[in-house]
Amino acid sequence: MADISDTYLIPVAELTPGSVSAIRNSVRDYLMNEASARLSMPTSQLVIRDIRPVDDLVMCSATSTAATLDDWKYTTGTTHTWEYWSDEAQTMGDQRFVILYGIRDLSMRNQAWSVTPVVQDISLVKIDVGNATKAIWDVGCLGAYALSGPPAAVTNNPILIPQNVAYQLTVYCDAGSIVQYLQLMGLVCEPRGKVISP
């Protein structure tokens, strides 16, 4: 996966169900192998789980306002500006690895899909890891499939945030004071028992 240089999003609606599963499984295997190698731990001592927005990524509920609930809800602030989606500059936790491979628009989760979709006022998501911008995802592609189910998009080049490494998530807002429901698609790998013990 590290040899792939494309960082754009592909709408899930343009992929076969098998393709989406293949990307997710490939991301899972890559994450497990990276964490195992960097932690010098066998995979049997590691667990992979879903991301918690607040506890794992320190997400904001509005620009520079740390969220207190683990949900994917964000209220935009200023029109036509970049805003912190994670609470300013953060450092990934010790013995925790996060990988991001896509994004999902949950704005219609409490509404019927036959109604007009909620306007998506976040157009770009920027992911910085260490001293580099790893991706700038154009989430406008989600709107093209808004009436066909919860819009989602994935990438063939997932973004790894290793333990103890600085990261920053920002969004470009097209309008202010709009509640948005964008969920990062990704996984967490850490030692068994750190959070869960399956």
CB atoms within 10 A of CB 77: 18
Q: How high is the pLDDT of residue 159?
A: 97
pLDDT reported for residue 177: 81
Give SS3 for 94: coil
The pLDDT of residue 112 is above 80:
no
Q: Distances in Å between the alpha carbon of 142 and those of 21, 105, 120, 139? A: 19, 7, 9, 6
Given the structure tokens 């989602």, which residue do they identify? 152
CA–CA distance, 42 with 175 (Å, rounded to integer): 47
Residue 111 to residue 127: CA distance in whole angstroms: 30
Q: How confident is the model at residue 118 (pLDDT cuts 50, 70, 90)?
A: low
Placement of tokens 């013995």 in the chain: 95
pLDDT, mean over the chain: 87
| CA distance linking residue 46 with residue 197, whole number of Å | 10
Would you state the pLDDT for residue 146?
A: 65
Mean pLDDT calculated for residue range 4-9: 77
pLDDT at 110: 53
From residue 131, alpha-carbon distances to 61, 128, 134, 159 in Å are 25, 7, 9, 14
Average confidence (pLDDT) over 24-40: 97
Average pLDDT over residues 89-115: 82
C-alpha of 15 from chain center:
19
Residue pointed to by tokens 């964490």: 35
pLDDT of 40 above 90 = yes
Pairing mode, strands 179-180 and 74-75: antiparallel
The pLDDT value recorded for residue 191 is 98
Write the single-letter amino acid at 104.
R
Q: Which two tokens stand for residue 78?
A: 């200023």
Q: Where are the domains of the chain?
A: 10-191
> What was the pLDDT predicted at 2?
47
pTM beyond cutoff 0.95 = no
pLDDT greater at residue 108 or residue 21:
21
The alpha carbons of the chain give a radius of gyration, in whole angstroms, of 17
Cα 129 to Cα 168: distance, rounded to the nearest angstrom = 7
- Label residue 38 by pLDDT band (50, 70, 90): very high
Per-residue pLDDT tens for 134-192? 999 999 888 776 666 678 999 999 999 999 999 999 999 988 888 888 999 999 999 99
- pLDDT for position 115: 53
Range with the lowest mean pLDDT among 20-24, 75-79, 105-109?
105-109
